[in-house]
Amino acid sequence: QVQPVESGGGLVQPGGLPRLLCAASTSIFSLYAMPWYRRAPGKQRELVASITSGGTTNYADSVNGRFTISRDNAKNTVYLQMNSLKPEDTATYYCNAQRATYAYWGQGTQVTVSS
Alpha-carbon torsion, ordered 46, 58, 2, 103, to 10 deg: 60
- pLDDT of 1 reads 81
pLDDT (mean) for 31-45: 97
pLDDT (mean) for 23-50: 96
For 56-90, write each residue's pLDDT tens digit: 999 999 999 999 999 999 999 999 999 999 999 99
For 87-104, write each residue's pLDDT tens digit: 999 999 999 999 999 999
**Mean pLDDT, the chain, whole residue set:** 96
Backbone angles phi, psi at 86, to 5 degrees: -120, 155
Of residues 67, 77, 76, 74, the one with CA closest to residue 37: 67
Distance of CA 88 to the CA centre of its chain: 16
Sign of CA dihedral 28, 71, 32, 112: positive
The C-alpha atoms of residue 3 and residue 103 are separated, in whole angstroms, by 10
Band (3; pLDDT cuts 50, 70, 90): very high
Residue 43 has pLDDT above 90, yes or no: yes
